[in-house]
Amino acid sequence: MTSVLFSPLDIGPVRVPNRVAIGPMCQYSANDGCASDWHTQMLMNYGMSGAGTAIMEATAVTREGRISLGCLGLYSDASEYALTRVLHAAKSVAMPGVKFGVQICHAGRKGSTHNNWSGGGPLGRHESGWRTVSSSAAPYADNWPAPAELEDAEILAIVDAYAMAAKRAARAGFDIVELHAAHGYLVHQFHSPICNKRPDRWGGDAEKRLRFPLAVADAIRDAVPEHVALGARITGTDYLDGGLTIEDGVRLAKELQARRFAYVCVSSGNIVHGGRPASGVGFNVPNAARVRAETGMVVRTGGLIAEANQAEEIVSAKGVDQIAIARAQLDDPRWGWRAAEKLGVKLELPPQYRRVSPGQWAGAKLVRPQA
């Protein structure tokens, strides 16, 4: 059988060997933005997982742009150096053709939080929290602190920080730089009318609410050399009356395309706490297909994709170029191997693994002691 999932894909200047991407996943394991041994093992595993593309977690463009104290950054020489070392290690073991990306982000009003396994709520007093900022002064959730409304000069400084982080990412050797413009983080906080209530040039109608996202897009376009693929994770819908819709998503995608962004990853929700009611396999797929149909851009999407045949169907028959898996990768760090086997594709395994054929140990799971 010929698998579309395991066929190569050109993403602007970058060719990936298959259409399985590992989506960005915060690991809350950095020290002052610097990647740790945890990231080294994680990215090395991603490189050997069978996925053709691996995107590092939301990585802060400033120290205050982190989500939690454990979030990764690209805002200092030390954090750039740490990530460079991780990437170097991952590339040294990666399967043929695997490409690595990093997602750059400013958390805005969703910053200064506990990490996810500690509940994810805002850091309290005496917990090393910091002043959060946003397009407007409304908090992310009722019991969260109100962010400060950013002033003009602060906005411009943050745009510069995105450019610097993108430059650092390219210098570190990443093949792909992904702007996080979704999930309720700062770019989304300017884009969405649910959050952005500004009366000045950074808020108002759809065009003005795009001013900050596009200022960031312009800045990182200038900062990143053409051999690096630029992309963005964007919002297909806020799921809220008066919020962003797929028309806004298409409009943003077109603007990014005009700036030679090579792809968008279409996601949804989270502009406010609990604002992600979607369910069902590939719930973002229809919006992603719409963006692709209207722009012709390379489009990726994710969301509850767990099985090889679901992924194959999405890329072969649902109008999307690439799928992203997140939790399925945590569940099975060799998801790509397993998916290839199910689809009858023979992956070239690293020689150290050749005495094991994928699937050989499937039965062993049955005799594992129950936890």
Ligand X SMILES: Cc1cc2nc3c(=O)[nH]c(=O)nc-3n(C[C@H](O)[C@H](O)[C@H](O)COP(=O)(O)O)c2cc1C
Which of 14, 53, 57, 187 touches ligand X (CB under 6 A)?
57
Report which secondary-structure segment, H or E, holds 58: strand 53-60
**What is the per-residue binding string for ligand X in 242-281, x denoting contact by CB under 6 A?**
-------------------------x--------------
Q: How far is the CB of 108 from ligand X (least distance, A)?
A: 14
Distance separating alpha carbons of residues 268 and 290, to the nearest angstrom: 14
| Total number of residues that touch ligand X (CB under 6 A) | 19
Contact between 88 and ligand X by CB under 6 A: the answer reads: no
Q: In terms of CB distance, is 56 or 163 closer to ligand X?
A: 56
**Residue 157, token pair as written in the block:** 């400084």
**Which of residues 58 and 164 has its CB atom nearest to ligand X in the complex?**
58
Q: Which of 12, 17, 24, 65 is in the footprint of ligand X by CB under 6 A?
A: 24
Q: Are the beta carbons of 39 and 30 closer than 8 angstroms?
A: yes
State which residue, 89 or 326, has the beta carbon closest to ligand X.
Answer: 326
By CB under 6 A, tell whether 303 contacts ligand X.
yes
Size of the chain, expressed as the number of residues it contains: 371
Nearest to 98 by CA among 37, 161, 46: 46
Tokens of 199: 């009366």
Specify whether 185 is catalytic: yes
CB-nearer residue toward ligand X: 203 or 302? 302
> In the complex, what is the shortest distance from the CB of residue 265 to ligand X, in angstroms, rounded to a whole number?
8
Give the residue among 180, 171, 277 at the shortest CA–CA distance from 225.
171
169 binds ligand X (CB under 6 A): no
Q: CB 135 → ligand X: shortest distance, Å? A: 19
Examine residue 103 and tell whether it contacts ligand X (CB under 6 A): yes
Buried b (16+ CB within 10 A) or exposed e, 283-310: bbbbbbbbbbeebebbbbbbbbbeebeb
- Shortest separation between residue 83's beta carbon and ligand X, angstroms: 14
- Determine if 65 is a binding residue for ligand X (CB under 6 A): no
SS3 149: strand
Q: Considering the rule CB under 6 A, would residue 23 count as an interface residue with ligand X? A: yes
Query: CA of 134: how far to CAs of 47, 120, 230, in Å?
Result: 35, 18, 24
Least distance to ligand X, CB of residue 259, Å: 20
Q: Kind of pairing, strands 229-235 and 176-180?
A: parallel
Contacts of 368 (CB under 8 A, 6+ apart): none
Question: Which residues 6+ apart lie within 8 Å of 282 measured at CB?
Answer: 301, 303, 304, 305, 310, 314, 318, 323
Stretch that binds ligand X, among 42-50, 271-279, 290-298, 325-333 (CB under 6 A): 325-333
Active-site residue, from 75, 185, 239, 263? 185
* Pick 28 or 337: Cβ nearer ligand X: 28
Residue 104 DSSP code: E
Q: Which of 155, 328, 340, 349 binds ligand X (CB under 6 A)?
A: 328
Residues 173-212 close enough to bind ligand X by CB under 6 A: 180, 183
Contact footprint for ligand X (CB under 6 A): 23-26, 57-58, 103, 180, 183, 233, 267, 302-305, 325-328
What residues are labeled active site? 185
